Chains A and B, each alone.
Chain A
Amino acid sequence: MPLIKVDNLRKTYYLKRHQIEAVKGVSFEIQEGEIFGLLGPNGAGKTTTIGMLTTRVGITSGEALIGGVSVKQKVAVKRAIAVVPQMLTLDRSLTARENLIFHAKYFGVGKDEREQKADELLGWLNLSDRQDDFISSFSGGMSQRLMIARALMHKPKVLFLDEATTGLDPQSRRLLWDKIRELHSLGQTIFLTTHYMDEADTLCDRVAIMDEGKVLAIDKPHNLKKLVKDKEEPTLEDVFIQLTGKGLRE
């Protein structure tokens, strides 16, 4: 049984004078322990799709299940997932460690477990020596690592990384890649979106390419590359451009 099952998911925004079909019947499944990448140009419907899966965007029609639970059951789904977005959403009024501890408290993690988990994650993400600092002094890479640590505090079934490496320097990005691979080896299911094709290629077991609200292709990266016939060693970016075109998206 897949951990995530998305069936003919649609989202239409009804505005005053017109309506926008942001997602037009998307279906896919993600197995437990898989790293799944959702790629697409700006306005493709990625953010709306991830928004529906993470309970923040209402579904117009179709269904999405996480661990067999409909995403319409918000509280139950929120217990099963964690989201690391591109933007910094850490609690600026708390120290790094307090960010983790309070997050775990929100999820009802017991005292001993949350203290131990915080120690473990702060060490794993090279943040132990800054744990008592407020995050205003943190670099982008440190903040992003702390957001991953926070997300893992309640042991989510699915970790959503929504363009989580955008804007980071190459060293920070590579460090996060290593951590994502480590999580993968431990069986963590990861759903990621990114604009970096090399990132999707190196990390993802399978990739879906989306545009104009539809999934255009979904497969393992090396299988997708076979779609490009006019290059000897095509990259995932070549596949992406072939499927979504070269036109600029605003």
Chain B
Amino acid sequence: MQTFLALIERDIRVLRRDFLDFATRIIVQPFLFVFVFGYVLPGIGQVKPGYVNLLLPGILAASMMMAGVQGTAIPLSTEFGYTKEIEDRLMSPISTPALIAQKITMGTLQAWIAAALVFPIAWLIMRNNLHISISSFPLLFVFILLVGLASAGWGLALGTIIDPFKLPIMFATMVIPAIFLGATYYPWKALAKIKWLQELILINPMVYASEGFRSVITPQIPHIPWFLSVLGLLAGIVFLTYLGVRGFLKRAYS
């Protein structure tokens, strides 16, 4: 446990040192989305003012997912890749499952920080048209926990399977599409008009993240029932973490 905590302390030291970079990376994209789609477009009458209610849960889910994936995948990929820093962690007196759990913990923590940074900014920009009615705080915390874990699991898989120099292309071809096709900027139920897409994106954990938040933050918007979103996220966590653990073991041992 002492090694686990020392590794967490090291990561937090580095995160604090680079916090401005981290916060900028986390905030800029959601800020622009919220500003354009939640402030400018409703302001000039291009979208209905109520669109912001739809946007907020999706933005929250996408920001957390991005932060957690990046926060896990980028360090892992570079540590396993050209810096070889993983060697020092692997030779520290910690079991491999605990070391993997430490990486997941840090990714999850970064996703939570993203939620804490993005939510107030989004609320501030869109507050005039927002109608938030949180149906259950415990359930909200369950989704915050699960989305964080899913993002870290995804980052673990990408960071251990993908070479560092291929990470940008993976973000462009996997993470960004998953966010755009993750019921982020539209509710999943509205996709009934494009049935094939509605069914196809059910394999995307982002859908359950966005819809899960929708079910507790803005329940007035049609959404997937919360328990199905919980199940979807759990399935995503198990699958992505399994891929990540397999990738980690393959890279670390022979």
List residues of A whose CB falls within 8 A of some B CB.
13, 51, 54-58, 74-76, 78-79, 81-83, 85, 87-94, 98, 102-103, 105-108, 150
Q: List 7 A-B contacts (CB under 8 A).
A: A56-B90, A79-B93, A89-B85, A90-B85, A102-B6, A106-B93, A150-B88
Q: Does any Cβ of A come within 8 Å of B7's Cβ?
A: yes
The residue in chain A whose Cβ has the minimal distance to the Cβ of B84 is A89
Q: Write out the residue numbers on chain A whose beta carbons fall within 8 Å of the beta carbon of B253.
A: 56-58
What's the minimum C-beta distance from A107 to chain B, rounded to whole angstroms?
Answer: 6
Q: Write out the residue numbers on chain B whose beta carbons fall within 8 Å of the beta carbon of A79.
A: 93
Top 3 A-B residue pairs of the complex, sorted by shortest distance between their CB atoms = A105-B6, A106-B92, A89-B87
Q: Write out the residue numbers on chain B whose beta carbons fall within 8 Å of the beta carbon of A92.
A: 83, 85
Q: Write out the residue numbers on chain B whose beta carbons fall within 8 Å of the beta carbon of A78.
A: 91-93
Given the complex of chains A and B, what is the CA–CA distance between A51 and B89 in angstroms? 16
Q: Does any Cβ of A come within 8 Å of B2's Cβ?
A: yes
The residue in chain A whose Cβ has the minimal distance to the Cβ of B2 is A108
Given the complex of chains A and B, what is the CA–CA distance between A150 and B91 in angstroms? 12
Query: Does B254 lie within 8 Å of A51, measured CB to CB?
Result: yes
Given the complex of chains A and B, what is the CA–CA distance between A75 and B93 in angstroms? 5
**Number of residues in B with C-beta < 8 Å to the partner?**
26
Q: Write out the residue numbers on chain B whose beta carbons fall within 8 Å of the beta carbon of A55.
A: 91
Among B90, B91, B253, B254, chain A packs the most CB atoms within 10 A around the CB of B91
Query: Does B94 lie within 8 Å of A75, measured CB to CB?
Result: yes
From B9-17, B29-37, B108-116, the one touching the partner chain is B9-17
What's the minimum C-beta distance from A219 to chain B, rounded to whole angstroms?
Answer: 30
Query: Does A102 lie within 8 Å of B10, measured CB to CB?
Result: yes
Query: Does B3 lie within 8 Å of A108, measured CB to CB?
Result: yes
Q: Write out the residue numbers on chain A whose beta carbons fall within 8 Å of the beta carbon of B18.
A: 93
Query: Does A93 lie within 8 Å of B17, measured CB to CB?
Result: yes
Given the complex of chains A and B, what is the CA–CA distance between A76 and B95 in angstroms? 10
Which among B9, B88, B90, B94 is the interface contact of A103 at CB below 8 angstroms?
A: B88
Given the complex of chains A and B, what is the CA–CA distance between A124 and B246 in angstroms? 42
What's the minimum C-beta distance from A91 to chain B, rounded to whole angstroms?
Answer: 6
Question: Known contacts being A74-B95, A78-B93, is A106 close to B85, with CB within 8 Å?
Answer: no
The residue in chain A whose Cβ has the minimal distance to the Cβ of B17 is A93
Query: Does A54 lie within 8 Å of B93, measured CB to CB?
Result: no
Given the complex of chains A and B, what is the CA–CA distance between A89 and B14 in angstroms? 17
Q: Write out the residue numbers on chain B whose beta carbons fall within 8 Å of the beta carbon of A85.
A: 87
What's the minimum C-beta distance from A21 to chain B, rounded to whole angstroms?
Answer: 14
The residue in chain A whose Cβ has the minimal distance to the Cβ of B252 is A56
Given the complex of chains A and B, what is the CA–CA distance between A81 and B6 in angstroms? 19
Q: Write out the residue numbers on chain A whose beta carbons fall within 8 Å of the beta carbon of B89.
A: 106
Q: Write out the residue numbers on chain A whose beta carbons fall within 8 Å of the beta carbon of B94.
A: 75, 106
Query: Does B3 lie within 8 Å of A107, measured CB to CB?
Result: yes
Given the complex of chains A and B, what is the CA–CA distance between A105 and B94 in angstroms? 12
Given the complex of chains A and B, what is the CA–CA distance between A78 and B96 in angstroms? 12
Against A, the Cβ 8 Å flags (1 = close, 0 = not) of B128-158 are: 0000000000000000000000000000000
Query: Does A93 lie within 8 Å of B93, measured CB to CB?
Result: no
Query: Does A57 lie within 8 Å of B254, measured CB to CB?
Result: yes
Given the complex of chains A and B, what is the CA–CA distance between A86 and B85 in angstroms? 13
Q: Write out the residue numbers on chain B whose beta carbons fall within 8 Å of the beta carbon of A56.
A: 90, 252-254
